[in-house]
């Protein structure tokens, strides 16, 4: 057997774990558990819950071991795999009119062009899926294995409009699938990419009317504005939200939140921060986000950052001598907030200087204002003649997950070399940001 072509290769064994104790090693292959083959990560997660396991392992020399293991119900084996889902990820077959990947330029790294629509990645990593790739077996398997929570790209509950928006004639039965999943206690977080004059207005009202009765297993719904890059050519014509349109959406959603607060005791539906920035409106209060169920969608991200920053600021001794100048790099949308927070910190520490540098997105186009889509080249070009002080701070959201690399394959080390400054990567967290500023 050529292990390079095998999908269940073990890449890591945790110290002091059951696997280490049983002699399992990096490079071994997991064949099956309790006589059942491992098709994907969901099989693995489900099967290892048993308290007695017979684990079939192929060693690097080809020898096959059968390991008998007694364990607690919730005890893990302590192994990780080369391929996190132990299977090929399912490719998205939709042709969504708003797809961001279709708006990417050529010659970026190949992984950026892969469109996944895989319920396993939704469960494991929080990816949003459309449910169009699921057949009856897949749905029953989600219910059987209690694959929950999953994140679903809803966009609209109007069957004909969803078929048009997703470019998939099988996508109109969404509401039936969501009802079946929620009736079987599968928790779902939903997302709507809102497109002006397409699924907003009356259509948004219809969607919210259809979905709110499915609470609490349909736990939350996030609304984010469609993103349009300068590379959008020969695609479905889509306009973007401006101040007036954003105000209209905010007023509409706030009315729904008031109604739902009375009806089901929750706001249920939340708007991403971008709507409030475009409308030049204050963000809702910290408590209005009800635990931030959709923080990964940019819903309440800035309010949470502000709260954490101000909370940690109270622990800082005033007038401490911090003779340092720090530059914080951000997207245009967060500029105002970071200037306000930086001012609060320098008021308390007068010897500290903080420069906020919002990066205009020349790569994707100026309508893209979030930090997560900033490229390294834009940072270098716009900061090369600026006073950067002692160090540069960037949010981790600008980088590929788990790596120090930007969307355009420029690395953090490239930034440091070009700008001749140390770069500090800060988690998107108020306390972490203060510590990144103050630590030497």
Q: For 350, which DSSP code?
A: T
- Do 133 and 254 lie in one domain? The reply is yes
CATH code assigned at 244: 3.80.30
- Do 321 and 272 lie in one domain? The reply is no
Handedness of CA 327, 271, 118, 25 (dihedral sign): positive
pLDDT of residue 42: 76
Q: Are 229 and 237 in contact (CB under 8 A)?
A: no
pLDDT of residue 2: 42
Structural domain includes residue 92: no
Structural domain includes residue 93: no
| Cα–Cα dist 374/368, whole Å | 9
- Residue where the block lists tokens 């990645």: 121
Record the tokens describing residue 158, joined without a space.
Answer: 């109007």
DSSP codes of every residue in 391-424? EEEEEGGGS-TTSSB-TTS-BHHHHHHHHTSEEE
Structural domain includes residue 428: yes
CATH code assigned at 66: 2.30.42.10
Structural domain includes residue 31: yes
Structural domain includes residue 90: no
- Do 69 and 189 lie in one domain? The reply is no
Tell me the three state secondary structure of residue 61: coil
- Do 374 and 240 lie in one domain? The reply is no
- Do 261 and 178 lie in one domain? The reply is yes
Record the tokens describing residue 176, joined without a space.
Answer: 């039936």
Final residue of a structural domain among 298, 320, 337:
298
Q: How would you classify the pairing of strands 36-37 and 29-33? A: antiparallel
- Do 186 and 227 lie in one domain? The reply is yes
pLDDT of residue 403: 86
| Cα–Cα dist 254/343, whole Å | 31
pLDDT of residue 91: 64
- Do 230 and 310 lie in one domain? The reply is no
Contacts 24+ apart (CB under 8 A), 164-170: 164/97, 165/96, 165/97, 165/98, 165/195, 165/198, 165/199, 166/94, 166/95, 166/96, 166/130, 166/132, 167/94, 167/95, 167/96, 167/97, 168/93, 168/94, 168/95, 168/130, 168/132, 170/132
pLDDT digits (tens, 9 = 90+) for 160-194: 999 999 999 999 999 999 999 999 999 999 999 99
Record the tokens describing residue 104, joined without a space.
Answer: 């990417």
Helices marked H in 265-334 — which ranges? Answer: 273-279, 301-313
| Cα–Cα dist 129/120, whole Å | 10
Domain extent for 365: 306-438
CATH code assigned at 388: 3.40.50
Q: Are 311 and 341 in contact (CB under 8 A)?
A: no
Domain count of the fold of the chain = 3
Structural domain includes residue 86: no
- Do 54 and 147 lie in one domain? The reply is no
Helices marked H in 13-135 — which ranges? Answer: 18-21, 41-47, 119-125
- Do 227 and 247 lie in one domain? The reply is yes
Final residue of a structural domain among 281, 298, 315:
298
Final residue of a structural domain among 268, 298, 328:
298
Structural domain includes residue 283: yes
Q: Work out the percent of the chain whose per-residue pLDDT is above 90.
A: 60
CA 131 to chain CA centroid, nearest Å: 18
pLDDT of residue 278: 96
pLDDT along the chain (440 residues), means of 10: 58 90 90 84 80 89 90 84 64 82 78 59 65 85 86 95 94 94 95 96 98 97 93 88 97 98 97 97 96 93 97 89 93 95 95 96 92 94 95 94 89 96 95 92
Q: Which of 91, 72, 78, 63 is nearest to 15 (CA)?
A: 78
Question: pTM (2 decimals)?
Answer: 0.84
- Do 230 and 330 lie in one domain? The reply is no
- Do 313 and 292 lie in one domain? The reply is no
- Do 229 and 193 lie in one domain? The reply is yes
């Amino acid at each position: 057997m050529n292990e390079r072509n095998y999908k269940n290769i073990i890449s890591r064994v945790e110290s002091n774990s059951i696997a280490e104790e049983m002699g399992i090693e990096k490079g071994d292959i997991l064949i099956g558990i309790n006589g059942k083959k491992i098709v994907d990560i969901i099989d693995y997660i489900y099967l290892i819950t048993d308290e007695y396991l017979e684990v079939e392992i192929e060693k690097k020399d080809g020898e096959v071991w059968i390991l008998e293991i007694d364990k607690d119900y919730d005890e893990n084996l302590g192994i990780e795999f080369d391929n996190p889902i132990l299977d090929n990820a399912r490719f998205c077959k939709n042709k969504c009119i708003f797809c961001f990947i279709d708006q990417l330029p050529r010659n970026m790294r190949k992984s950026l062009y892969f469109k996944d629509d895989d319920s396993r990645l939704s469960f494991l990593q929080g990816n949003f899926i459309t449910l169009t790739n699921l057949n009856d077996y897949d749905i029953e398997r989600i219910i059987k294995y209690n694959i929950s929570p999953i994140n679903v790209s809803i966009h609209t509950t109007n069957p004909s409009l969803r078929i048009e928006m997703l470019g998939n004639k099988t996508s109109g039965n969404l509401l039936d699938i969501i009802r079946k999943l929620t009736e079987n206690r599968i928790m779902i977080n939903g997302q709507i990419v809102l497109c002006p004059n397409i699924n907003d207005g009356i259509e948004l009202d219809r969607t919210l009317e259809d979905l709110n009765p499915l609470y609490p297993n349909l736990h939350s719904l996030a609304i984010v504005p469609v993103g349009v890059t300068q590379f959008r050519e020969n695609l479905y014509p889509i306009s973007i939200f401006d101040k007036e349109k954003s105000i209209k959406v905010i007023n509409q959603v706030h009315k729904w939140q008031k109604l739902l607060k009375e009806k089901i005791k929750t706001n249920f539906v939340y708007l991403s921060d971008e709507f409030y920035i475009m409308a030049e409106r204050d963000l809702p209060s910290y408590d209005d986000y009800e635990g931030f169920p959709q923080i990964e969608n940019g819903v309440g991200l800035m309010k949470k950052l502000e709260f954490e920053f101000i909370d940690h600021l109270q622990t800082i001794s005033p007038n401490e001598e911090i003779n340092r100048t720090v530059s914080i790099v951000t997207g245009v949308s967060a500029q105002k907030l970071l200037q306000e927070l930086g001012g609060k910190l320098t008021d308390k520490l007068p010897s500290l200087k903080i420069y906020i540098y919002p990066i205009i997105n020349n790569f994707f186009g100026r309508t893209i204002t979030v930090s997560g889509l900033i490229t390294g080249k834009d940072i270098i070009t716009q900061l090369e003649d600026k006073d950067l002080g002692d160090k540069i701070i960037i949010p981790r959201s600008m980088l590929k997950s788990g790596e120090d690399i930007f969307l355009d394959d420029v690395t953090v080390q490239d930034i440091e070399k070009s700008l001749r400054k140390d770069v500090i990567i800060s988690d998107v967290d108020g306390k972490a940001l203060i510590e990144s500023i103050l630590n030497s």
